Amino acid sequence: GEILVLYDSTNANCRISRDSVIVNLGRLNKTYELYNRKGVTGTDAVSFRGFKRVMVLGEGSSVMSNKIKDSLKAYISSGTGSNKARVIILSEDIGYHLDRIGGAYYDSAFARSTLGISYVADRPGVGGRGIIGISINTNLTDSSYGPSTDVIKKSASVPPSQEYNLYRFRLFADSMCAIGRISPNYNVAVMSVDVESMRPVADNPNPFTVKRILDGMIKFVDEIPTGDPNTISNSIPLDYSMSQNYPNPFNPTTKIRYNIPVHSFVSLKVFDVLGKEVLTLVSKEMEPGSYDVEMNAAILSSGIYFYQIKAGNFVQTRRMMLLK
């Protein structure tokens, strides 16, 4: 199978998550194999080498055993630039157990330096069950009814250029529930929401929440943008914003996403380290929406570049790295 799905047969809700994942991988035309990790203590170590992707399903206190954690470390360490390891984790309490002293399988180095996540809180504030996509499924809304959806954030132990905010809690702009990492030898997407608790919401007409989130997570670790190549969401953003390009570093193409809340003239340009303009990616009037633009740097030399958006009174600049 294309994806090895790890689940815990001793946990009823994890079995529900497994069944939901199986149905929705079928809708996505993805093949899979199942591995029963059997709780948090007795599971034997297993080799994940040879699988294109490994997906870990957790539920509350059952996220993974220490032996499974060691197997994930070995799998991640086996990745190379030409054959990356790809890991997807969907589980409540992932930060609570991995990055909190006293957690069942506490391993802050693994959480922060490998997965790229830091634990913030055991759950968001009151009413914080709604979630919204940022770097994947941008501005698409869903919900989670799980009792222990962690608030997590990007780890300071990882280069900022490798990390992405994938999802946040809808009511709290600074509270993330999914973080992604694109590194030279492996890619990781971690979501602190278990599959069993995912639900659609009234203002998103597409009911297939699990399919949508799985598709976004898989495409992220595969470095494939989600959504239409020009407009990634029909919903109108609340604010101007521009995401970190990905992949980054890149060669020679990369994607840049930006949000326009009102009709605006939009300018998106690329500059070298001396401030010289080297590319113009966008220069036109645009309607409100969320957009993707692809940058092809085939004519440029390896190095650091900066890309800047100007729209209305909004100006934002970010850094990127081209490696040929």
Q: Are the beta carbons of 28 and 214 closer than 8 angstroms?
A: yes
**Which amino acid would we find at residue 142?**
D
Distance CA 99, CA 89 (A): 15
pLDDT tier at 24, thresholds 50, 70, 90: very high
**Strand pairing report for 141-144 and 117-121:** unpaired
**Strand pairing report for 3-7 and 53-57:** parallel
Task: Give the range among 14-23, 115-124, 217-226 with minimum mean pLDDT.
Answer: 217-226
Give the count of beta carbons closer than 10 Å to the beta carbon of residue 180: 28
* Greatest alpha-carbon span in the chain: 60
Q: What share of the chain is helix, strand, coil (3-state, %, to 5)?
A: 20, 40, 45
Beta strands in 225-302 (DSSP E): 231-233, 241-242, 253-260, 264-272, 277-286, 289-296
Average pLDDT over residues 302-306: 95
Q: Are the beta carbons of 209 and 198 closer than 8 angstroms?
A: yes
pTM: 0.71
pLDDT at site 77 = 95
Taking each helix axis as running N to C, give the angle between helix 209-221 and helix 12-27, from 0 to 180 degrees, rounded to the nearest 10: 70
Q: Is the pLDDT of residue 5 over 50?
A: yes
Distance CA 77, CA 63 (A): 20
Q: Is the pLDDT of residue 57 over 90?
A: yes
Distance CA 83, CA 52 (A): 8
As beta bridge partners, residue 190 has 89, 179
Cα-based distances in Å from 113 to 106, 107, 159, 163, 256: 13, 10, 10, 11, 26
pLDDT at site 292 = 87
pLDDT tier at 231, thresholds 50, 70, 90: very low
Q: Are the beta carbons of 31 and 60 closer than 8 angstroms?
A: no
- The residue with tokens 């694109």 is 182
Between residues 78 and 60, which one has the greater pLDDT? Answer: 78
Q: Are the beta carbons of 292 and 219 closer than 8 angstroms?
A: no
Query: What are the tens digits of pLDDT across the range 172-209?
Result: 988 999 999 999 999 999 999 999 999 998 877 677 89
As beta bridge partners, residue 317 has 308
As beta bridge partners, residue 321 has 304
Query: What are the tens digits of pLDDT across the range 61-93?
Result: 899 988 899 999 999 999 998 899 999 999 999
265: left (phi over 0), alpha (psi -120 to 50) or beta: beta
Q: Is the pLDDT of residue 138 over 60?
A: yes
Q: Is the pLDDT of residue 235 over 60?
A: no
Question: For the CA atoms of 34, 167, 206, 200, what is the dihedral angle to 10 degrees?
Answer: 80
Q: Is the pLDDT of residue 234 over 60?
A: no
